[in-house]
Every structure is written in C-alpha cells, then in structure tokens.
Amino acid sequence: MTSKNAETFRAEQSRASTPLYRLYGYPIAHSAAPAFHNFVFSALGNKTSDPKEMSQAMHPVYSLWSSSKVTEEMLEDIRQPEFGGASVTMPLKSTIIPHLDEITQESRATGAVNTIVKVYTGDHTQPKLVGTNTDILGVKNSLTQAIYSQYPSLVLHPDATFAKAPSVEVVALVIGGGATTRSACQALFLMGVEQIYLVNRDVDEANKVENELPHLKIRHLQSCAQAQSILGKESVLLPLIVGAIPCLEPQTEEEKLVYAVVKTVLSIRYRNKIAEEMLPPDEHRLPFPSKRLFLDMAYKPRWTKLLAMAEEHSCHTVTGIHAMLEQGYAQQRMWLRGDPSPTVGSDVSILGERVEHGVRQLIEAMADVVVAGVEVDRSV
C-alpha cells in the first residue's frame, strides 16, 4: 500500500472508533464475504498478509446483517457515524435503492445495488451513501486480467477499452437471462463491445434483458443454425464469452438447446491472427485476446460443465472465483478511496499485490462455509 493509500485508510479509521462494514441480505450465513473483507482490513492495517502474524490492532470490522427486507433498524445502521460501507445481496439489491442518496450509472443500468460507498463531501461533515454495482467490475476486471496475462509486457489504463476494428465486427456472447446476465452485458459494454449475443432457453426472458438494457445492442440466438450463420462469418470476431447460469445438468429440451448452441459457438474458429495483428496503439486500448476467453460466473462446483466445454475448444478459461474476487477487490478499493467510480474500482494499485495475493490464496483454499444452527431473519 502506498503512503497516500495508508494515509487515506488511517483517516477513515480516525472518523470512528471501529468502522463497521456490513453484508445485508438473506440468507447470507454461508457467505465467504466476512473472511474476504476482514482479511483485507487486517492486511491493510498490518505489514504482513499472513493471518497467523497479523496483530490485534484496531481495524474495520465486516459482519453479516441477515434480513430479507429493508427495515428501519437497517436504515439506522447505515446512517450511524461508525458505518463505513456495505455489500448488498438478494433480496435487497433493488429495494435498498430508494433509501440511498445516489446511485451510479452502473446501478441505474442494471437496476441493482450490491455495494454502498460512503462518499465524503468537501467539508467531511455530510457524507453521502452512494450505491453501485461491482458485479459488473467482477466480470470486466476478471476478463481484463486474463487479457493482461496473455500480454504481460503491456501497461494499460484501468478504463482501457477495445479499439474499433476496421472491417471486423467485435461481438461477445452471454449465456443466461437473470441479474448476473445484465451485469455481464454492462461489463462487456464498458470494455467496448458493441454487439452482444444472448443464449437463453426462454424467449420472453431474453426479450426482457434486451428491453431493460436499451443502450446495448443485444440479440437472442435461438438455434444452432442461427448461431453458425451469424457468428461464423469471416467479418465477425468473438473474443469473449460469459456464462451466467447455474451449473445444473440440463433436463428440458430448452435447457439442452442452450448447451447445444454454446457448443456450436465454441466450434467456430477464433480468428486469433486478426486479434494479434490489432495490438492497441496506446494504454487506453485493450488488445484482443490471443485465445478466446470464457468466463463462467458459476463457482459451485468451481470447475463447471461450461468451463469443461470451453477448455475442450482451446479457450482461455476464467472461473467464477476470479470474478467473485474481482468484485470484492472493487468494493475494497471504493471503500478505501470513498469513490464509487469504475476507474477506482479497477485500479490494482490501490490495494497492492501483497494484499490481493494474500486474500486470493485464502479464498481459493477455503472450503464451503458450513452454517451452524438456524439463520435468523432480523426483519421478521
């Protein structure tokens, strides 16, 4: 952590005896978020990222607040001086919005808040509670980190996007139709992808995604033949695929069709020669990956049916754990800086490699959280 970041962190601590951070939602007792965030808070306040060596010095505390509804008690909690910020999960991602001072464009686009950032005004007396959606950055940053791994010598700006490709239409594919699909589509838009194709078992659900994201060009692929006809053109470059469905064995004909369409798409040759010839002219332009990227947002199990299919077709696979880590890093960066912008949420220099590497090792080695007893809903 740089001295500037350390000063920011200490300033946040000085505003409250013990800054409190929450996860609001229900059920949440199974969440790994407390382990993730408390590790980061401890590491930021100590010279080591080894849990065995961390001191007992005061640092912010991240805890669960199990509630299926937004209650007066919860609203009092987020307005108390000790409140530092929060994660928000289902079923509160939409219902929390009217109770915040502002939301970002990312939350407006997806209709969801998963992060509350405490933003101080100039005189630091009237902080605003701003809602944003770091699920978007979980997708975007895990994909961009995979691209960096293919081009390790490049130095790119956090807001870098794909350059316009002459004579080539750059497209992406998203598999799903729920909230994660919306976040994935918005993430691809932030990366500079203009055309997104959707694979979904339900026409109405696909149409709903299109209607709720009117600023994006989204088209539903409904058959293997259609996928081959559109994406098999020499003028089409498909560098990115995101899976946003649970890892369950398909049962219905519609569910089986989803996997059949995905297999058809994966069988279409990735024109990596075109990608490699189009290296970016400056730090604000992302290079196209030399191998097609396939991110599956599902992480139970960690190696999914979709990832296995992607690996069979020579894709560079990215697991849902990576996306989960990236959205958590984004939350921490925003809380530390008091800034909910995607630029801050994507800036790897804020936490630093030591902290990020330490928490990555912790989460990747963790078994599923075993819930002891019955989780109590505080809203009942």
Q: Which of 163-177, 196-210, 223-237, 285-299 shows the lowest mean pLDDT across its residues?
A: 163-177
- Per residue in 103-113, pLDDT tens? 999 999 999 99
Q: Are the C-beta atoms of residues 362 and 39 closer than 8 Å to each other?
A: yes
| pLDDT band for position 48 (cuts 50, 70, 90) | very low
How much is the pLDDT for 29? Answer: 95
- Per residue in 1-19, pLDDT tens? 443 443 454 454 445 468 9
Those residues whose C-beta lies under 8 Å from the C-beta of residue 323, and which sit 6 or more positions away, are: 138, 139, 142, 295, 297, 299
| pLDDT band for position 154 (cuts 50, 70, 90) | confident
Q: Which of 144-148, 259-263, 272-276, 376-380 shows the lowest mean pLDDT across its residues?
A: 272-276
**Matching fold, domains 3-133+331-365 and 137-322:** yes
137-322 folds as: Rossmann fold (3.40.50)
Residue 164 has pLDDT above 90, yes or no: no
3-133+331-365 folds as: Rossmann fold (3.40.50)
Q: What percentage of the chain has pLDDT greater than the value 70?
A: 89
How much is the pLDDT for 271? Answer: 84
| pLDDT band for position 49 (cuts 50, 70, 90) | very low
Residue 279 has pLDDT above 80, yes or no: no
312: left (phi over 0), alpha (psi -120 to 50) or beta: alpha
Domain ranges of the chain: 3-133+331-365, 137-322
Other beta carbons within 10 angstroms of residue 281's beta carbon come to 8
The more confidently predicted of residues 272 and 319 is 319
How much is the pLDDT for 281? Answer: 62
Other beta carbons within 10 angstroms of residue 68's beta carbon come to 17
> What backbone torsions phi and psi does residue 205 show, to the nearest 5 degrees?
-65, -40
- Per residue in 116-126, pLDDT tens? 999 987 765 68
76-98 average pLDDT score: 97
314-336 average pLDDT score: 97
210-233 average pLDDT score: 96
How much is the pLDDT for 373? Answer: 86
Other beta carbons within 10 angstroms of residue 114's beta carbon come to 30
- List C-alpha distances in Å: 121 to 36, 138, 162, 365: 29, 27, 34, 40
Q: What percentage of the chain has pLDDT greater than the value 90?
A: 76
Mean of the per-residue pLDDT values of the chain: 90
127-137 average pLDDT score: 97
* Alpha-carbon torsion, ordered 75, 77, 80, 82, to 10 deg: -150
